[in-house]
Amino acid sequence: MAGEIRITQDDIDSLATKLDNFSEALTNKERDVMSAIMRLAAGALESPSNQSRTSEMGTPEKSPGGRLSDGFRQAFEHGLGTTFRIRPGGAISHSIDGG
Amino acid sequence: MKSARPKTRSGPCRVGLISMPFVSCFRPSIQLGLLKSVAAARRFSVHTFHLNLDFARQIGPGAYEEICAVRRAFIGDWLFAGAAFGDALPDRAPDFLTEYDSDIHAAITSVDKPAEYLRTVREAEVPQFLDAMMAELPWPDLEVIGFTSTFQQNAASLALAKRVKRAHPSIVTVFGGANVEGDMGVELVRAFPDIDYAVTGEGDRAFPEFLDALASGRDPATVAGVLCRRDGAVHGAGCRPAPVDLDTLPPPDYDEYFDRAERLGLLSMAPRRHVGIPFESSRGCWWGQKHHCTFCGLNGTGMAFRAKSPQRLRQELASAARRYRSFTFEAVDNILDMAYLRTVLPQLIEAGTDYELFYELKANLTREQLRLLRTAGVRQVQPGIESLSTRILRLMRKGATAAQNVNTLRWALYHGITVWWNLLYGFPGEHREDYLAQERLMPLLAHLPPPNGAYRIRMERFSPIFTDRAAFPARQVRPQASYRHIYPGHVALDRIAYFFDYTFVDALPEADLAGIRRRADAWRESWAEPVAPSLTFHAAEDFLQIEDARDPAQPGTYTFTGPLARIYRFCSDRPVTPSAVRARLNPDRPLDEVTEALSGFCTRGLMMRDGERYLSLALPATPGR
């Protein structure tokens, strides 16, 4: 469709690399100006008319259900991964906490 | 001072190029190697003498290298000052050892009583070494001897030059190197009559022209870059040689360094050598040409950036690997030429070379760039990180942000590149909050390679904080105190010094910086433990677990699904704004909800915020992608 923006991860990576290189030539003030322009551009891309892009890993997010920050509840547990501890003879003794 | 003009001569010169203590004995001098090649190309007979190897062997390479690494006290110069200046030197030995007692004990750990050891070295080992070198080197066969002098090589070079001139007055002495740049070279020539000439600036063209002039009977002082005493004044100051095209230079010749190191038993004979071969792919600093970092004086008056062509550099590395049987190379460049990311490095990957390279570079590298560097063989980098505060980095004119610095540390670790970096403080305009914020951030970065230490910036000659007093008002600017213990009274210390003591009008006191020093120490200590701190994420589609073992005694695991898992991964490659996250995630999400989620990661120490950008701190579990 005319005017539709289709963006891939490669496009973003390629542009980001070029901007990183380009930013080395800028003064702090020039960099601020570029950041402001990028914010405006990001706002334009986020407008309802440009919502045909895909989200990370190519799958659009389903319609929001609950606030994002709800996902932090009970996100933390003490300890790390666990595995079987196997004695030299091959018998499983018990599982242990990897932490 | 009376005019002292050595006789000119006709016929080819026999030249000796000398590297004296203190400079590391673990690698050859690129200055000597290169000047030997350029002079040999003009058919001069040149030999190089890395006498620093002899001294390292004499006093022990461990202590020798520790002395080389001392930052504040010029211990190496102090050790040779007695031999260099004799009766002209006030006996300040007790003062020096007392004044720098803490530096000495911190730096020299390979001997039991470092102060007594240093006194013995100064009073016994140094004279013995100089006697041995006077007996061993073929002085009657030499017509010109050149000393390279950088940082702590002045006093030892002057000590040997003095003895040579006494024993062989016809030998012409010439000094070169970073210590001869600008006013420092002028003062060396003015103050020390044992120096006949000095070459200031780039010597690749000036030195062979100087030899040509000597050989043909012309006045060497007419060569651009050559200084000498004439009628009580220093002649030639302010006349620098033009920058050279690096592709026109021959490769450095290190044969005599390896011969000497093996003959002295410092390096055993072996089919392959694990020795870092110095190479030069560029000169100057492309960043400094645009924005001179406020504290950096390294490029003297020669900031103009030039790089060797990719083909030339590849040929030089290949030929050096064959010639010296080493695959380890250390770039002496101040900054990596970014064009090499598109040329030399992909070409090395294509060629399948197994080089192990060291480079200094700018810190705002992307994940992809660091992957490229590692694949091409870059194993160690010094990215000039210097701070974890964007505000302080702006004061430094570093052209990088704190988040970019952290990201460089992350992806360098991920790709297996060793990073050497320091934390610096003491910048005009800094605030206490700048350091409190860094103190809060540093424990979150415990899984990343720690800084070598936290240090107050030194005022270096040629740096903006030294040259631009209007922009950087400083009080009590004076040559670093250690110079007082080294040079005789007739030397103008303000002209010979490279480092200066100073007080910035609005810099923070040491007490306000104790916290950041403690954090840096704790960070280093945690990496010395058998198990280094870690922060790792394991990802599936829409599922993420972050294992947090930054404090190995209290490990934990975070589990995220759906959008939070995606947000975390999206903020992993580079620092991003909430707007970008929202655009990527789902434009229907309110921006404040996205920002709240990002803040949630920050609250748990899993991300950092730098201005408007957020960066995930954990690294992927699968390395090297």
Q: Do A80 and B557 touch (CB under 8 A)?
A: yes
Listed in sequence order, the DSSP H helices in A1-99 are 9-23, 28-45
Confidence of residue B359 (pLDDT cuts 50, 70, 90): very high
User: pLDDT tens digit string along B20-58?
Assistant: 999 999 999 999 999 999 999 999 999 999 999 999 999
Model pLDDT, residue B72: 77
Q: Assign residue B97 a region: left if phi > 0, alpha if psi is -120 to 50, beta otherwise? A: alpha
Amino acid B295: pLDDT: 86
The tokens of B33 are what?
């190697």
Q: Work out how many CB contacts closer than 8 A connect A with B.
A: 127
- Sequence-distant (6+) residues with CB within 8 A of B512 are B432, B435
Q: What is the DSSP string of B126-168?
A: HHHHHHHHHHHS-GGG-SEEEEE--STTHHHHHHHHHHHHHH-
Among A18-22, A75-79, B73-77, B237-241, which is the least confidently predicted range? A18-22
Average pLDDT across chain B, whole number:
93
pLDDT of residue A12: 62
Alpha helices for B168-309 (secondary structure H): 183-191, 203-216, 255-263, 286-290
Binned at pLDDT 50, 70 and 90, residue B326 comes out as: very high
Residue A70 is assigned to a structural domain of this protein: no
Answer whether B338 sits within 8 Å of A43, measured CB to CB: no
* In-domain check, residue A74: no
Contact of B551 with chain A, judged by CB distance below 8 Å, is answered with: no
pLDDT of residue B179 exceeding 90: yes
A57–B563: do the CB atoms touch at under 8 Å? no
Q: Which residues constitute the domain of residue A27?
A: 1-57
ipTM entry: 0.78
Region B525-545: mean pLDDT is 96
Please, are residues B256 and B47 in contact by the beta-carbon 8 Å criterion?
yes
Residue A11 lies inside a defined structural domain of this protein: yes
pLDDT tens string A73-94: 999 999 998 878 766 665 555 4
78-97 of A, contacting B, C-beta below 8 A: 78-81
Q: What is the mean pLDDT of residues B572-592?
A: 93
CA atoms of B516 and B387, how far apart (whole Å): 11
Please tell me the pTM assigned to this model: 0.86
**Angle subtended at Cα B588 by Cα B586 and Cα B591, rounded to the nearest 5 degrees:** 85
> From residue B327, how far is each of B322, B355, B358, B371, B377 by CA, in Å?
9, 5, 11, 20, 10
Reading the block at residue B42, the tokens are 């003009």
| Average pLDDT over every residue of B567-589 | 94
pLDDT tens, position by position, B58-105: 999 999 999 999 877 899 999 999 999 987 776 655 688 998 999 999
In chain A, the number of structural domains is 1
Q: How far apart are CA B621 and CA B624, in angstroms?
A: 10
What mean pLDDT is reported for chain A? Answer: 62
Residue ranges of E strands in B395-527: 418-419, 423-425, 454-456, 459-460, 474-479, 499-504
Structural domain boundaries of chain B? 14-235, 273-527, 534-620
- Cα dihedral B147, B183, B150, B201 in deg (nearest 10): -70
Among B335, B367, B407, B557, the residue to mutate for chain A (most A Cβ within 10 A)? B557
Q: Are B552 and B384 contacting, i.e. CB atoms less than 8 angstroms apart?
A: no
B587 to chain A, any CB pair closer than 8 A? The answer is yes
Q: What is the C-alpha separation between B523 and B520, in angstroms, rounded? A: 5
What does the alpha-carbon distance between residue B545 and residue B116 come to, in Å, rounded to a whole number?
56
CA distance B96 to B118: 11
pLDDT over 80 at A56, yes or no: no
Helices B432-441 and B514-527, packing angle to 10 deg:
20
CATH number corresponding to B534-620: 1.10.10.10
Query: Are the Cβ atoms of B557 and A21 closer than 8 angstroms?
Result: no
Q: Write the CA distances from B242 to B34, B72, B205, B282, B352, integer angstroms.
A: 17, 33, 8, 16, 37
Mean pLDDT value of segment B121-137: 97
What is the per-residue pLDDT across B437-482, written as a single tens digit (0 to 9) for each?
Answer: 999 999 999 999 999 999 999 999 999 999 998 989 898 999 999 9
Q: For residue B161, what are its two tokens?
A: 């030059």
pLDDT number for residue A3: 45
Instruction: Note the pLDDT of residue A91.
Output: 56
pLDDT average, residue stretch B302-325: 96
| CATH code for the domain defined by B273-527 | 3.80.30.20
| Residue B364 at interface with chain A, using a CB cutoff of 8 Å | yes
Taking residues B204-210, report their average pLDDT.
95
